[in-house]
Amino acid sequence: MADNHYFSKKLWVEGDEIESRCHGDQVVIKESPEVNEAFFKIIEDDKETDTVVIIGDLINCGERLCHEEFIERLHLLEIRGKRVLVLTATHDYNGCGEDENEFVAVGYDKDSRYNVPCTRRHELDELYRPFGRGQADSAYDMSYSINVGGYRFILLNDDGNGHTDCGLDDKGNEWLEEELIKANQNGEAVLLFTHHPVIAPYPLYEAFAPTEMYGGHEKLKKILLKHGVNVVFTGHTHVHTIRKISDGNNELYDVGTTSVSSAYGKIRKVRLENGVADITTIDLPEEIDGIKGGKDYIASVCFGGYYRRLVDTAVRDYDEFLKLGRGLVPTDKAEKYRFIIKPLLKWFTSLNMSFAGKFGRKYSGLTKTECKSHKEEKVIDMVFVAIDHFFTGDAPFTPDTYEHRVLYGLTHKGDKILKTLKISLSKYINGFDSLWTLAEPIFHNTRTGNDREIKIKIKINNEVTYEKN
Ligand SMILES: [Fe+2]
Ligand SMILES: [Fe+2]
């Protein structure tokens, strides 16, 4: 499980304040207890599952009460027969200077916010020690290494603050290498877990948000490849993708799991057998106790579903749009520029795919007849499909689709225009000089072909030889 983002029901009442908070987030806030519970029930009912690994951002923003309630639920999981291993991350504490974390623990009255007891980073160690670290074979700060049924699980704490790099320091890397050498000598296959991505879900992600990666990910990748570690499980991005790198000798997979509480909530089930990790996906169930409308309701109030309603409402009823957008759309500016925003959105939502196909035909090779046959499809629908699949992975615009060719044509035309204007993309986006290179992985799976499942060989790599010292 990743990014549970649990928020207590006791910390808010219905009103503008909590609505504003919800509108600005990718995850559900109000419904997070029900959504978490739905997944915990699935896990409890699954007789095959004996160990639950949760990789950080357990709660909303360091609220002490959220930790207390979340921990109570973890204890219940244990009572019901599951072993629970936990990592904490940035959202789980409130910084006070030296660690720079800017999260503030608040509750929501009808029209205002109020401070609530918070959690400091050092307190997390004590709170979550019973879940993994307390039984670990070895630990470094809040990272730890533990034997699970003959496999070596190593959980790296990287609760960075979004401003600077996070992850193991040099001494920590030495500890990690020692653990990997020991595991290899003992014949244990290794599974690694950390919060931030080690391999970016999309090139775009690393280009725009380098500090949202595992700090020192280049170094970590080298270490893992060198010691024959094949898989690392990560969260944080809320993007559900499986990506791979290779050094020609070993392969490393980063299995990213979306947030439990996202509009597209999922967890992963991993079966370890005969040196193979068989990784599958479990979706948020259609029906959720306490949520009328279940999964569909969650999808409509959160992220893509919410943005879609926002755009549709702006075109239909602008005053209603201002109400619906509170917390996300700056009301004064939206009111001031109503005369531009409304007609612009009206024009954009009316665009059809036939129109979009006409641009970049030189590159896409589409004929006029082919373009004409897509008059009924709207550009806005394609945009929202892409937005939804940004987080769920496996976007459907594969090379055999009309949309793929349109996007190919448009981005290549864009590249040509940039070249004519002598604008170098790589100057603004770290190391990328083509719009298509950035865009293609978002339109279809250019990674491992399937973001939902994969079988990865994790046999121990006895061929790794270690020089003395
Ligand atoms: Fe998160
Ligand atoms: Fe995070």
For 316-374, how does the pLDDT look when each residue is reduced to its tens digit (9 = 90+)?
999 999 999 988 899 999 999 999 999 999 999 999 999 999 999 999 999 999 999 99
Euclidean distance between CA atoms 373 and 247, whole angstroms:
46
> What's the confidence (pLDDT) of residue 220?
96
* Ligand lying closest to the C-alpha of residue 213: 2
Residue for token pair 């496996």:
394
Can you count the helices (H) and strands (E) in the chain?
A: 19, 14
With a pLDDT cut of 70, the percent of the chain lying above it is 96
**Which is higher by pLDDT, 469 or 61?**
61
CATH number at residue 214: 3.60.21.10
Give domain status of residue 454, yes or no.
no
Q: Do 185 and 45 belong together in one domain?
A: yes
Q: Do 189 and 301 belong together in one domain?
A: no
Distance 193 CA to ligand 2 centre (A): 14
Q: Do 276 and 395 belong together in one domain?
A: no
* Ligand lying closest to the C-alpha of residue 159: 2
Q: Average pLDDT, stretch 114-135?
A: 95
Give domain status of residue 353, yes or no.
yes
Q: Do 253 and 384 belong together in one domain?
A: no
**Which is higher by pLDDT, 44 or 428?**
44
Q: Name residues whose C-beta falls within 8 Å of residue 403's C-beta, 6 or more positions apart in sequence.
A: 353, 382, 397, 443
Buried b (16+ CB within 10 A) or exposed e, 418-446: eeeeeeebeeebeebebbbbbbbbbbbbe
Query: Between the CA atoms of 159, 165, 171 and 176, what dihedral angle is there, to the nearest 10 degrees?
Result: 60
Q: How many Cα atoms occupy the beta-carbon half-sphere of 202 within 13 Å? A: 25
The model's confidence at residue 28, banded by pLDDT at 50, 70 and 90, is very high
Q: How many domains does the chain have?
A: 2
Distance 60 CA to ligand 1 centre (A): 9
* Ligand lying closest to the C-alpha of residue 162: 2
**What mean pLDDT value characterizes the chain?**
93
Q: Which range (45-54, 203-212, 302-311) has the least confidence?
A: 203-212
Q: Do 352 and 279 belong together in one domain?
A: no
Q: Name residues whose C-beta falls within 8 Å of residue 202's C-beta, 6 or more positions apart in sequence.
A: 239, 241, 390, 438, 441, 442
With a pLDDT cut of 90, the percent of the chain lying above it is 81
Distance 239 CA to ligand 2 centre (A): 11
What percent helix, strand, coil does the chain show, rounded to 5?
40, 15, 40
Q: Do 427 and 337 belong together in one domain?
A: yes
Residues less than 5 Å from ion ligand 2, measured at CB: 57, 89, 236
* 3-state class (DSSP) for residue 278: strand
Give domain status of residue 177, yes or no.
yes
Distance 91 CA to ligand 1 centre (A): 7
> What's the confidence (pLDDT) of residue 388?
92
Give domain status of residue 401, yes or no.
yes
Distance 235 CA to ligand 1 centre (A): 7
Q: Decide: 172 and 403 in contact? Cβ < 8 Å.
A: no
Q: Average pLDDT, stretch 165-192?
A: 92
The model's confidence at residue 163, banded by pLDDT at 50, 70 and 90, is low
Distance 259 CA to ligand 1 centre (A): 7
Q: Do 138 and 186 belong together in one domain?
A: yes
* Ligand lying closest to the C-alpha of residue 5: 1
Give domain status of residue 199, yes or no.
yes
Q: Decide: 166 and 159 in contact? Cβ < 8 Å.
A: yes
Give domain status of residue 1, yes or no.
no
Segment 182-203, tens digit of pLDDT: 999 999 999 999 999 999 999 8
> What's the confidence (pLDDT) of residue 465?
59
The model's confidence at residue 165, banded by pLDDT at 50, 70 and 90, is low
Distance 144 CA to ligand 2 centre (A): 19
Looking at residue 93, its amino acid is: Y
Q: Do 395 and 251 belong together in one domain?
A: no
Give domain status of residue 452, yes or no.
no
Distance 345 CA to ligand 1 centre (A): 31
Q: Which range (122-131, 156-165, 201-210) has the least confidence?
A: 156-165
Q: Do 335 and 211 belong together in one domain?
A: no
**Of 289, 313, 330, which marks where a domain is finished?**
289
Q: Average pLDDT, stretch 367-393?
A: 95
* Ligand lying closest to the C-alpha of residue 88: 2
Q: Do 256 and 359 belong together in one domain?
A: no
**Which is higher by pLDDT, 367 or 204?**
367
Segment 249-289, tens digit of pLDDT: 899 999 999 999 998 899 999 999 988 999 999 999 999 99
Distance 28 CA to ligand 1 centre (A): 11
State the burial class of residue 232 (Cβ atoms within 10 Å of its Cβ: 0-12, 13-18, 19+).
Answer: buried
Distance 466 CA to ligand 1 centre (A): 37
* Ligand lying closest to the C-alpha of residue 260: 1
Task: Give the residue among 120, 23, 128, 122 at the shortest CA–CA distance from 62.
Answer: 120
Distance 183 CA to ligand 1 centre (A): 30
Task: Give the residue among 125, 115, 69 at the shortest CA–CA distance from 93.
Answer: 125
Distance 454 CA to ligand 1 centre (A): 23
Q: Do 81 and 215 belong together in one domain?
A: yes
Q: Do 80 and 147 belong together in one domain?
A: yes
Distance 159 CA to ligand 2 centre (A): 8
Distance 271 CA to ligand 1 centre (A): 25
Segment 60-114, tens digit of pLDDT: 999 999 999 999 999 999 999 999 999 999 999 998 765 667 889 999 999 999 9
Give the domain range for residue 254: 9-289
> What's the confidence (pLDDT) of residue 432?
79
Give domain status of residue 424, yes or no.
yes
* Ligand lying closest to the C-alpha of residue 195: 2
Instruction: Say if residue 427's pLDDT is above 60.
Output: yes
The model's confidence at residue 382, banded by pLDDT at 50, 70 and 90, is very high
